[in-house]
């Protein structure tokens, strides 16, 4: 068994694009040691710590490699790297916002910290967990490589070989590289800032030899949910994924105290099970009911809070728990504009969802990549529905099998982390990908993979609208394969002025729910003037007024909208020296946290919809 673990570890090291085996979920519901805080760093644009002067990868024992401990024992020793004050960065956090030298930096930074263990127990297993590192991470402990990972927005973990851990002064180094590449996901071209660094939490998890690595608990998808059955009898289905390094006859215990449910599952019953519960309250935006759940195995207990609900489509409608819903959404980037940085913790999530609530929204599109787990956790407890997406954005390399594999890896990591979040109702496999047969096959393959991994949610992708005819046509062939047809529309901003919306009609080639995944216009907060002057708040207000009028004339499959975007966000593509200065200005809230006029327009529209339950 030990050999198998080593083989898996080697596979992970050699093929960073491959889906990792054994992602441990719900870290905060387990005992772990946080490795957040102050880390030392070296900026290494030439990757000197990784390649020697012949540009050959350094071997593991090379004392000049930056994963090695810089030890000056004698005065004549030549050491050319080191980890010392004042060169420190806070983890979690992007590096760009932490020192001027990082503002535009794209390349390698080495992070280092040391840690002690209060109770190093060689009978236990230890895993290093990273919530996300953008984009490529190589992890070394005590001068040995323990793994690498690609993908800037999803979690990963590596088992630490026991012989490597010490009680004191463990020397942990992470090489982080955020250089953009044509064959990566996202590719070189995006409309958002390429924030680099260890952007999410880091932890050391101590686990027994055999433990529950992951689990799924949800309302069984194939039961009919009638209104009258509310608070009644439902079937829950699920599975436990046990990670074993030795034989065990232990049983997995599942307890949901509020439902008076307690059961022991033997090994042969854990990969798929079902049970009935009574008096279950379903999760919904009006009643975001979550149940405390305890899973115990081998003296290790995991606590979670899980909501149960059903999301589906029926003809032209989206149904939540059997009832038609309209998605009053808003798109969000993972940024706190006032601090010009990535959002990273609970406080940040509270701030962003505070705006969302204020807007009377019931849904968020977390664009264009999986956001940190605090976001989906808070959405669960606030009753906000979530669209979660992988960064298959614009023109990635659709010809490449390897790129497809990388997209599938990110998809799997996103779904594995968040599949127990009731709030997540839509998995999106990409945004504004250009129509071609190769693209459609690529995306279709992602949709199929999504359904295989999780058949209890809707699958979509943000498509484009064809404006150049009498009508606005939605006929991207990918629409045939998604559960809801989603489109980004910018009539009146890109091309023409908002009055173009007055006479515009829509035709959708698919008899499915239609979702407007983006619409928006730029305005510089605090800049006022005539409505037909670009960048004024009045222009943006006008755009929203016309958009809402147009939405009222939409075909009857119109099922929701998530305008672009909640707040201004950083983008290297936005270079007007007066109005943009590196910001995409389509936020309803500006970079100081002030609401623009259009915020109130959307807020009222949503209030009306909520009251009248119409569009």
Site residues, ligand GCB (CB under 6 A): 191, 368, 431-432, 488, 518, 564, 584, 586
Q: Is 345 helix (H, G, I), strand (E, B) or coil?
A: coil
Nearest to 70 by CA among 92, 87, 93: 87
Q: Which tokens hold the place of 202?
A: 């880091």
What does each C-alpha distance from 217 to 224, 255, 293, 402, 428 come to in angstroms?
A: 18, 12, 10, 32, 21
Q: How far is the CB of 488 from ligand GCB (least distance, A)?
A: 4
State the burial class of residue 392 (Cβ atoms within 10 Å of its Cβ: 0-12, 13-18, 19+): buried
Nearer to ligand GCB, 365 or 512 (CB): 365
Nearer to ligand GCB, 240 or 564 (CB): 564
The answer to whether 280 and 287 have CB atoms below 8 angstroms apart is no
Q: How far is the CB of 575 from ligand GCB (least distance, A)?
A: 13
Strand order in the sheet with 252-256: 261-265, 252-256, 291-297, 300-306
Nearer to ligand GCB, 67 or 564 (CB): 564
Nearer to ligand GCB, 55 or 494 (CB): 494
The answer to whether 403 and 181 have CB atoms below 8 angstroms apart is no
Q: How far is the CB of 431 from ligand GCB (least distance, A)?
A: 5
Distance CA 421, CA 217 (A): 10
Nearer to ligand GCB, 325 or 332 (CB): 332
Nearer to ligand GCB, 81 or 534 (CB): 534
The answer to whether 323 and 249 have CB atoms below 8 angstroms apart is no
What is the CA 352 to chain-centroid distance, rounded?
Answer: 15
Q: How far is the CB of 368 from ligand GCB (least distance, A)?
A: 6
The Cβ-side half-sphere exposure at 577, using a 13 Å CA radius, reads 0
Nearer to ligand GCB, 255 or 518 (CB): 518
Q: How far is the CB of 491 from ligand GCB (least distance, A)?
A: 12
Residue whose CB is nearest to ligand GCB in the complex, by number: 191
Q: How far is the CB of 210 from ligand GCB (least distance, A)?
A: 44
Cβ neighbours around 469 below 10 Å, total? 8
The answer to whether 231 and 261 have CB atoms below 8 angstroms apart is no
The number of residues making up the chain comes to 615
> Apex CA 349: angle with CA 332 and CA 357, to 5°?
70
Q: How far is the CB of 584 from ligand GCB (least distance, A)?
A: 5
Q: How far is the CB of 371 from ligand GCB (least distance, A)?
A: 15
Q: How far is the CB of 475 from ligand GCB (least distance, A)?
A: 18
Cβ neighbours around 314 below 10 Å, total? 10
Nearer to ligand GCB, 68 or 433 (CB): 433
Nearer to ligand GCB, 518 or 537 (CB): 518
Dihedral angle, C-alpha 410, 415, 418, 422, nearest 10 °: 140
Nearer to ligand GCB, 334 or 518 (CB): 518
What does each C-alpha distance from 77 to 66, 85, 168, 250 come to in angstroms?
A: 16, 21, 25, 54
Residue 145's beta-bridge partner residues?
Answer: 140
Eight-state DSSP code of residue 369: S
Q: How far is the CB of 487 from ligand GCB (least distance, A)?
A: 10
Nearer to ligand GCB, 161 or 582 (CB): 582
Q: How far is the CB of 502 from ligand GCB (least distance, A)?
A: 22
Nearer to ligand GCB, 333 or 512 (CB): 333
Cα-trace Rg, the chain: 25
Q: Write the secondary structure of 133-155 as one string of H (helix), E (strand) and C (coil).
A: CECEEEEEECCEEEEEEECCCCC
Nearer to ligand GCB, 321 or 488 (CB): 488
Distance CA 58, CA 52 (A): 6
What does each C-alpha distance from 292 to 29, 216, 304 come to in angstroms?
A: 11, 14, 6
Q: How far is the CB of 444 from ligand GCB (least distance, A)?
A: 20
Helices 373-382 and 346-358: angle between axes, nearest 10 degrees = 40
What is the CA 10 to chain-centroid distance, rounded?
Answer: 27
Distance CA 509, CA 440 (A): 16
Q: How far is the CB of 595 from ligand GCB (least distance, A)?
A: 19
- Decide the pairing of beta strands 317-320 and 311-314: antiparallel
Nearer to ligand GCB, 134 or 210 (CB): 134
The Cβ-side half-sphere exposure at 488, using a 13 Å CA radius, reads 22
Q: How far is the CB of 418 from ligand GCB (least distance, A)?
A: 21
- Decide the pairing of beta strands 458-464 and 108-115: unpaired
């Amino acid at each position: 068994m030990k050999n198998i673990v080593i083989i898996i570890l080697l596979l992970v090291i050699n093929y960073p694009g491959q889906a990792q085996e054994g992602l441990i979920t719900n870290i905060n519901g387990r005992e772990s040691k946080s490795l957040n805080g102050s880390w030392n760093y070296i900026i290494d644009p030439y990757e000197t710590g990784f390649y020697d002067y012949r540009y050959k990868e350094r071997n593991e024992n090379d004392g000049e490699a930056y994963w090695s401990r810089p030890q000056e024992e004698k005065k004549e020793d030549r050491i050319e790297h080191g980890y010392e004050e004042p060169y420190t960065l806070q983890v979690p956090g992007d590096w760009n916002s932490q020192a001027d030298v990082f503002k535009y930096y794209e390349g390698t930074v080495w992070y280092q910290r040391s840690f002690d263990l209060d109770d190093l127990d060689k009978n236990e297993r230890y895993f290093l967990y990273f919530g996300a590192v953008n984009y490529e991470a190589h992890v070394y402990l005590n001068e040995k490589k323990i793994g690498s990972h690609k993908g800037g927005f999803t979690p990963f973990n590596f088992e630490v070989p026991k012989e490597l851990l010490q009680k004191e002064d463990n020397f942990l180094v992470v090489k982080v590289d955020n250089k953009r590449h044509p064959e990566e996901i996202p590719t070189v071209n995006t409309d958002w800032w390429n924030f680099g660094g260890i952007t999410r939490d880091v932890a050391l998890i101590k686990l027994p030899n055999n433990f529950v690595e992951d689990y799924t608990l949800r309302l069984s998808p194939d039961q009919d949910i009638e209104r009258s059955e509310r608070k009644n009898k439902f079937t829950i289905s699920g599975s436990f994924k046990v990670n074993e390094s030795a034989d065990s006859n232990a049983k997995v215990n599942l307890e949901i105290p509020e439902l008076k449910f307690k059961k022991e599952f033997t090994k042969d019953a854990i990969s798929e099970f079902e049970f009935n519960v009574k008096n279950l309250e379903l999760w919904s935006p009006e009643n975001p009911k979550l149940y405390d759940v305890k899973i115990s195995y081998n003296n290790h207990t995991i606590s979670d809070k899980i909501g149960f609900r059903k999301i589906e489509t029926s003809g032209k409608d989206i149904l939540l728990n059997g009832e038609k819903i309209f998605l009053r959404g808003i798109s969000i980037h993972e940024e706190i504009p006032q601090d010009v940085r990535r959002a990273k913790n609970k406080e940040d999530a509270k701030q962003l969802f505070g705006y969302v609530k204020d807007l009377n929204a019931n849904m968020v599109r977390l664009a264009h990549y999986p956001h940190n787990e605090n976001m989906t956790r808070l959405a669960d407890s606030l009753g906000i529905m979530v669209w979660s997406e992988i960064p298959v954005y614009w023109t990635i390399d659709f010809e490449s099998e390897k790129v497809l594999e990388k997209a599938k890896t990110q998809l799997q990591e996103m779904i594995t982390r968040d599949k127990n979040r009731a709030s997540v109702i839509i998995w999106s496999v990409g945004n504004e990908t250009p129509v071609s047969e190769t693209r459609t096959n690529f995306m279709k393959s992602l949709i199929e993979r999504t359904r295989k991994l999780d058949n209890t949610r809707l699958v979509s992708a943000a498509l484009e609208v064809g404006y150049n005819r009498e009508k606005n046509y939605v006929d991207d062939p990918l629409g045939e394969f998604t559960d809801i047809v989603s489109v980004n529309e910018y009539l009146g901003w890109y091309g023409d002025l908002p009055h173009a919306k007055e006479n515009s009609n829509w035709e959708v080639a698919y008899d499915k729910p239609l979702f407007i995944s983006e619409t928006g216009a730029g305005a510089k907060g605090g800049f006022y003037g005539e409505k037909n002057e670009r960048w004024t708040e009045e222009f943006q207000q006008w755009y929203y007024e016309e958009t809402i009028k147009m939405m009222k004339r939409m075909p009857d499959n119109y099922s929701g909208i998530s305008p672009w975007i909640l707040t201004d966000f950083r983008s290297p593509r936005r270079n007007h020296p007066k109005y943009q200065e590196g910001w995409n200005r389509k936020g309803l809230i500006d970079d100081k946290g002030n609401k623009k006029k259009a915020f109130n327009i959307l807020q009222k529209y949503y209030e009306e919809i909520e009251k009248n339950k119409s569009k």
